[in-house]
Amino acid sequence: MRTALDATGSDRGRVSAREDPEEALKETHHVGRLAGLAKAIHSAERHALEGSGTGHAEADGVHLATVALGAMVTGGPTHGLVTVCRDGRPFTADDLELLRSLAARASLALSNVNLHFDMQRQAITDDLTGLASHGRFQEMLDGEMQAVRRYRYPVGLIMLEIDDFKSVNDRYGRQQGDVVLRYVAEALLKISRDVDIVARYGGEEMALILPHTDLEGTYDMAERARMAIEGLAVPHLDGRGTLQVRASMGAASSSDGNKNDLIAAADSALYVAKREGTNRTVEAVPETANVFGGE
């Protein structure tokens, strides 16, 4: 805003912007008094949105020029508009070209910011399911273990694997497998608490971190997850019927703060569940290092 004012010899103006392509533009910043200029501002901004990216208007000797910033996404709406105003002097073609140049630079900067946030999001989120990524899972479990070592409260961990997932991919194709993964992820998110972390551990394997949860509570949550998945009716991509999904669960809980032991305990319990016939939940055995066990 300040650069546009200085470059065009203007003394007032405003920025209208949006944070999401679905949002309407709204004023986010202004400089100087704009009273009485609303109609002219809207006219200039409408021309910028509907025309070549710039617009101009005049009201009672005040001249206005507007430039649109680049699109938020390819083919989508603009990031926003910058409008500048000055008394007595109409904006020339050179002024408008200067505003276009400034807008191009601002748009590039905004694109770089969006790219940065996209990369950050991709680093912590699994694109297919929307769950936490494997790296984010490790980071969050590390954080929980640090708190556990200090406060000695239990943390539960559920490792689960979708049963016979390879046969789904082999028979119906990977796109159908992707639909199964998304449905399972949604089911897990629906039953989890706000404090729980639901992650895609890898492939058809997912994990739930349950702060302040002992083995009994972890087992109960795993059973809820198993039954929620069992109750899914995943639609066939060809529209003909639905798929039933099953999953095996390994449940463990620890208050000693050893992340590797906790993962190993839950993973071992998952292996037992799969070995014993799938579609079941198994608790970690008591003798696993410092892991809470059941009878």
Q: Please, what are the domains in the chain?
A: 2-121 (3.30.450.40), 134-292 (3.30.70.270)
Report which DSSP code applies to 34: -
- Catalytic machinery residues: 204
Q: How confident is the model at residue 105 (pLDDT cuts 50, 70, 90)?
A: confident
Helix (H, G, I), strand (E, B) or coil at 217: helix
- Interval 119-144 mean pLDDT: 84
Q: Which position has the higher pLDDT, 111 or 37?
A: 37
pLDDT tens digits along 5-58: 988 999 999 998 887 777 888 898 999 999 999 999 999 999 888 877 888 999
The Cα-based distances of 64 to 61, 87, 88, 195, 220 in angstroms read 10, 9, 10, 51, 65
Buried b (16+ CB within 10 A) or exposed e, 268-293: bbbeebbeeeebbbbbbeeebeebbe
pTM across the whole model: 0.61
pLDDT given for residue 22 in this prediction: 75
Residues 6 or more apart whose Cβ sits within 8 Å of residue 265: 157, 250, 252, 254, 284, 285, 288, 289, 291
pLDDT tens digits along 200-248: 999 999 999 999 999 999 999 999 999 999 999 999 998 889 999 999 9
